[in-house]
Amino acid sequence: MRIISVVTPVHPPHVRYLPEAYASLRAQALPDGWEWEWLVQHDGDDGGAVSRLLPADPRVKIAAFSPASGEACTRNLAFARSTGEFVRNLDGDDRLTEGALERDVQVLLTHENVGWVTSAALDLLPDGEVVSWEFGDPAEGVLEPGWLLDTFVRDDWRLPVVPGTMCVRRELLLALGAWMGLPRSADTGLLMALQTVSAGYFIGTPGMLYRKHPAQVTATGIHNDPVDKELRYGMIVDRARALRTLLGQPTTTR
């Protein structure tokens, strides 16, 4: 049996959304010979709250380590417990759409030169309404190395894809040190490193419902603080540029 690992970091305010995330996983159909596993990692001691909310399912592997260590470490601890050849991100407050994992697997099986996949996403509002993502998506197909970084820098750090939809080949994820060691935007840091060393692929069919709610990390003041943002995005860009230099690729200017 071939495995796609779904990695989910969970912070205390998001625990209550996990049953919906599980339901979206349980509804996934995969190609013959494939199965998913779900690595749920609570950031800090959860007092057994996650286990009480989720049913007994051998595909669901729950852990909670103390002390709380933040976004990047929580993702990486979940990844460390995974076994799949492909690794898919899913935040604890979001949901997969029908067919999302199958589309990821098919792209990576079909395109040997592609190391990672992202897909379109839909916003899930507090009242249950589902709306299109506020920014325009790229065309479906292969994303050449460097394109995402150039766009990110040119558009003042606005991402043209949603990092939360990433699915990555395991060996590539290991080679890049998994999620970048930042207190916030660890997934953006990983994405910018991935797009430097490998072509990606964008799937136009939405693969995720991105939940909007007051407790989401991107809604916090510190996440949008200009000084904090300058530091972490500056490090993300500098890392990607350093990788470009090591690979002999031209660098961007700002």
pLDDT band at residue 101 under the 50/70/90 scheme: very high
pLDDT band at residue 223 under the 50/70/90 scheme: low
Report pLDDT digits (tens) over 106-122: 999 999 999 999 999 99
| Residue 4: strand pairing partners | 36, 86
Judged by DSSP in three states, 82 sits in coil
- Asked whether 168 and 115 are in contact (CB, 8 A), the reply is yes
Contacts of 136 (CB under 8 A, 6+ apart): 160
Please choose, from the candidates 139, 202, 132, the residue with its C-alpha nearest in 3D space to the C-alpha of residue 167: 202
Contacts of 185 (CB under 8 A, 6+ apart): 223, 232, 233, 236
Domain chopping of the chain, boundaries: 2-246
Contacts of 206 (CB under 8 A, 6+ apart): 97, 119, 120, 121, 122
Kindly state the average pLDDT of the residues 25-51: 93
Q: What is the pLDDT of residue 213?
A: 67
Report pLDDT digits (tens) over 55-81: 999 999 999 888 888 889 999 999 999
Residue 40 has pLDDT above 90, yes or no: yes
2-246 classified as CATH 3.30.70.270 = no
Residue 254 has pLDDT above 80, yes or no: no
Q: What is the pLDDT of residue 107?
A: 98
Report pLDDT digits (tens) over 151-196: 888 888 788 899 999 999 999 999 999 999 888 889 999 999 999 9
Q: What is the pLDDT of residue 12?
A: 86
Kindly state the average pLDDT of the residues 13-24: 94
